[in-house]
Amino acid sequence: MVVRVDRDKSFYYPAGITVTPSFFCIKVIRKCKKLYLNLYERNVEKEVEKIEFPPESRVGDVWFIKVDMRLKKTFEYAFEDENGRFADEYGKSFSGRDSFGKVSLIDNERRSPVYIADFDWGNDFDNVKTVENKNLDTAFIYRLHVRGFTKSNSSKIVDKGTFKGISEKTDYLKKIGADFIDIMPATEFDEFIRVAGSFFSLFDKEKKEKIILNYWGYANSLNFAPKASYATKRYRNPVNEYKAMVKAMHEAGIGVIQEFFFDKKSIGYIIDVLRFWKLEYHIDGFHLAGVNYCEEIVRDPYLLNSKFIFSNKIYDIRSENIISMDYDYMNNMRKYLKGDEGMIPFVSNAVSDKNGYLNFIADINGFSLADIYKYDYKHNDANGEDNADGSNMNFSWNCGFEGDTKKLQVLNLRKKMYLNAVLLLMISRGAVGVCSGDEVLQSKDGNNNTYCHDNDKSYFNWKLVNKNKDFLDFFVAMLEFRRKYILTGIDKHKISIHGMQVWKPDFEYYNRQMGMLIEGKTDIYIILNMHWDRHEFCLPTIKKGSFWHILVNTDDINTPFKGDGAVKVDNHRKIAVEGRSCVILVEKLI
C-alpha cells in the first residue's frame, strides 16, 4: 500500500483523527521520543500499516500528520511509542473491552474505528429546545447507573445493562416524573484497579496482585467515547446506541445529564470534552465530579444553554441552570428526621430559602433510603476491606432492630420514616435528587459503599415497582404536590415559619417541631413533628368560607396521601399531630 505522509496544515485539525474521502489527519498529545500510528483490520491482531510521525511534525508535545490514503471502513487504529502501544485519548469509540468486568480483557489493546456511522437525529432539535426551558434548580433529577438500571433479570428486557435498556424504560421514567436523568460515568473508563493491599474482589494469578472491580466508573477514562460494554453486543455500536437513548429521552420530555470524573485534567481538555458531548450527543447538561466550580466552563459560548451539577458544594451561585450537591442537607435532614436536637433553624431555612443546591436524603456514597431506617451501622464486609471502607457517619436509625425483621411495630415505624423523608425532600427549596432504587425502597443490605459490586446489590430490582407500589405512588403524588403547590408561582409565595403557636417560630435547641405557611393562590400549611410525642398545633386563619383539609398525614401509613379525599379539619383553630409525623393542610372552599 502506498502511503504519503505530510504535515501540511494538519495542525489545524482537532486532536484525534479527522477522516476525509482522500486523506486523514491525526493530532496526538504525547510526551515521547518517537511516535507511530498503527492501522488494523477489525479483529486482526497484527497491524496492516505502521506509520511513523516525522520529527518535524512535532511542536512541543503535540504531534500531527496528514496521510494521503483511503481508509477502509473496517480499519481501526491505535498509537505506539518507545514504551508500547496506547489508545487515542480523543478516540470516539473503542473495541477490545466489549464485555464488562472480565479480568481476561484487562490488558486488551483498545483500538478506535476510523469511521463512525451516521445517526439520524430527526426532529431532536425541537425536543432539545423543550428541555432547555426546564430550570435545573427546581427539577427532579433521577440518578442512575447504565448497567445497574436494567441488568437484573427482573427488568424483563433483552438488552440488559445497556444504553438501549434505558431507552426501553422510558415509560417508567415518565411515570415517576423525572425531569432529567443523571447518568453515572459512562465513558470508556478502566473497570479494574490494581492494588497491592489486602483488597478482595478478583485475583490475577499471573501478575500476583489484587484487582478490584470499579463498578461505579470513577477512574481514568477515555472521555470522548461512550463505554463499549454498555452497548448491545450484537450491534457493537455504542456511539449510535447512546445517541438513540438521548433521542428517546428528549421525545419523552426528559433531559440527559452525563456525569464525568476528571482527575487532574486541564480546563482546556475538560472544555473540549464537554463541547464534544454537547454537539455530538445533544446532551443537556453535565455532572462534574473532581472539578471545582469554574467560570471558564460554565460561561463557555458552546455551553451557555447547558445545565451543570457540581459534586463539590459551591456558594453564592444564583442560577437556574447551575447547582451543586448538598451533603450538608442530606446529613442535617437525616438528623432532624431521627429526632436530633437543634435542627429547626436548618430545616426552616431549607424549606423556605432558594439555595441553588441539589437536595437529597440518600446518595450512592452512603446508605440507600431503605437502609437509613434499617441499620445503625454499615455492613460492608462483602467489599473485602474488613468493613473499613465507607463512611461511619450515616446519621441513620434502625428503628429498634438492626436489619430485616418481621416485627410489625418496627416495620410500621420504618414506613412512617420513609414517608417523612420523601415529604421533607419534596417541600424543600432547590432541586430534588433521587438515586435509582430509592423510589421503591431497595435495600443494599446495609452496604454503604457498593463501588465494587456488579451484582444485585447494585442492580435495580424491578419487582419492587409492584411490591412497594404504595410507597412509589406516594412518592409520585408528593412530586405532583410539589409541582402544583410549591413550585407554581414560587416567586410570588409568601412563606412564614411558625411554632406550635401561630406566628411564633420556636428555634430553641430542644425543639423538634414547626409549621410552615405558604400563602398563594391556595394556602398550604405544613406541620412537621419529629418529636416522639403527640403535639397540638394552632392553625393560621384563612379566607372566609374556606376550611383546612388534611391532604397528607404520614401517621396514616396505609393512605398517607388523601388526594381528592382530603379530610376537613373540624376544629379550624388547632390540630393534633402524632409523634414522628408530618401533616399537610390545604385550603378548600366548602
Q: What is the CATH number of the domain that holds 574?
A: 2.60.40.1180
pLDDT value of position 207 = 52
Unique residue bearing C-alpha cell 425531569: 179
Task: Find, among 404, 394, 402, 333, the residue nearest to 368 by Cα.
Answer: 394
Residues 159 and 80 in one domain: no
CB 256 within 8 A of CB 242: no
Residues 219 and 82 in one domain: no
Mark which of 289, 323, 357 sits at the end of a domain.
Answer: 323
Mark which of 306, 323, 340 sits at the end of a domain.
Answer: 323
In 101-157, beta strands by DSSP E: 112-113, 140-144
Question: Is 317 within the bounds of a domain?
Answer: yes
Question: Is 226 within the bounds of a domain?
Answer: yes
What gap in Å lies between CA 195 and CA 522, rounded to an integer?
59
Question: Is 441 within the bounds of a domain?
Answer: no
| Residue 9 buriedness (CB in 10 A; 0-12 / 13-18 / 19+) | exposed
Tell me which residue range forms the domain holding 318: 137-323
Mark which of 45, 71, 86 sits at the end of a domain.
Answer: 86
All three cell numbers of 457 = 446489590
Residues 308 and 177 in one domain: yes
What gap in Å lies between CA 313 and CA 362, rounded to an integer?
16
Residues 157 and 68 in one domain: no
Residues 48 and 161 in one domain: no
Residues 167 and 68 in one domain: no
Question: Is 565 within the bounds of a domain?
Answer: yes
Question: Is 239 within the bounds of a domain?
Answer: yes
What gap in Å lies between CA 524 and CA 529, rounded to an integer?
16
Question: Is 379 within the bounds of a domain?
Answer: no
How many structural domains compose the chain?
3
Residues 196 and 313 in one domain: yes
Report the CATH number at residue 13: 2.60.40.10
pLDDT digit of tens for each residue in the chain (590 aa)? 556 666 555 556 688 898 888 888 999 999 999 999 999 998 888 999 999 999 888 999 999 988 887 778 889 999 999 999 999 999 999 998 889 988 877 878 899 999 888 999 999 999 999 999 999 999 999 999 999 999 999 999 999 999 999 999 999 999 999 999 999 999 999 998 877 654 444 555 555 567 889 999 999 899 999 999 999 988 889 999 999 999 999 999 999 999 999 988 999 999 999 999 999 999 999 999 999 999 999 999 999 999 999 999 888 777 899 999 999 999 999 999 999 999 999 999 999 987 789 999 999 999 999 999 999 999 999 998 999 999 999 999 999 999 999 999 999 999 999 999 999 999 999 999 999 999 999 999 999 999 999 999 999 999 999 999 999 999 999 999 999 998 887 777 789 999 999 999 999 999 999 999 999 889 999 999 999 999 999 999 988 889 999 999 999 999 999 998 899 998 889 999 999 999 999 998 76
CB 442 within 8 A of CB 464: yes
Residues 164 and 255 in one domain: yes
Residues 156 and 65 in one domain: no
Residues 154 and 80 in one domain: no
What gap in Å lies between CA 65 and CA 11, rounded to an integer?
8
CB 460 within 8 A of CB 442: yes
Report the CATH number at residue 147: 3.20.20.80
**Three-class SS state of 86:** strand
Task: Find, among 53, 46, 8, 4, the residue nearest to 29 by Cα.
Answer: 53
Q: pTM value?
A: 0.95
What gap in Å lies between CA 83 and CA 61, rounded to an integer?
16
pLDDT value of position 107 = 79
CB 214 within 8 A of CB 192: yes
All three cell numbers of 454 = 456488579
Question: Is 507 within the bounds of a domain?
Answer: yes
CB 540 within 8 A of CB 498: yes
Residues 23 and 172 in one domain: no
Residues 198 and 319 in one domain: yes
Question: Is 365 within the bounds of a domain?
Answer: no
CB 70 within 8 A of CB 22: yes
